[in-house]
Amino acid sequence: MISLQARGTHKREESSRVYAIVRCGGRQEKVALDDVLTIDKLATEEEGATITLPALLVVDGETVITDASGYQVTAEVVGPAAGPKINMIHYRNKTGYKRRQGHRQKYTQIRVTGIEKA
């Protein structure tokens, strides 16, 4: 027999998984070991290259380190990626003016390889 729980109550499994909040491309991302992130295109986009990202917050089980200036996250470049195609149409009424333009944002995928104290 399956036991049902009330809505909004669920069992939370406590894990000792280490994760960090990093600054990357003007945004903040939550990363853990072996996570694959899609970030803005990097200038050094060689596949297999190693990059370091500054950690803003590190959580290790019950320990929360808010001043994580001594920590850094290392990641390796997996490869390039592209976002969805965005089509734009400019149209002026009664003049015959029509213009189409498309855009596809370029990204880089990275895999987190370590969260350690610098």
pLDDT tens across 10-54, in order? Answer: 444 555 588 999 998 889 999 999 999 999 998 877 899 999 999
Q: How many CA atoms lie within 13 A of 1 on its CB side?
A: 2
Sequence ranges of the domains in the chain = 18-117
Say which range, 6-10, 90-94, 95-99, has the weakest mean pLDDT.
Answer: 6-10
Mean pLDDT of the chain: 86
Q: Are the C-beta atoms of residues 70 and 56 closer than 8 Å to each other?
A: no
pLDDT of residue 15: 53
Q: How far is CA 31 from the centre of its chain?
A: 7
Distance (Å, rounded) from C-alpha 111 to C-alpha 108? 10
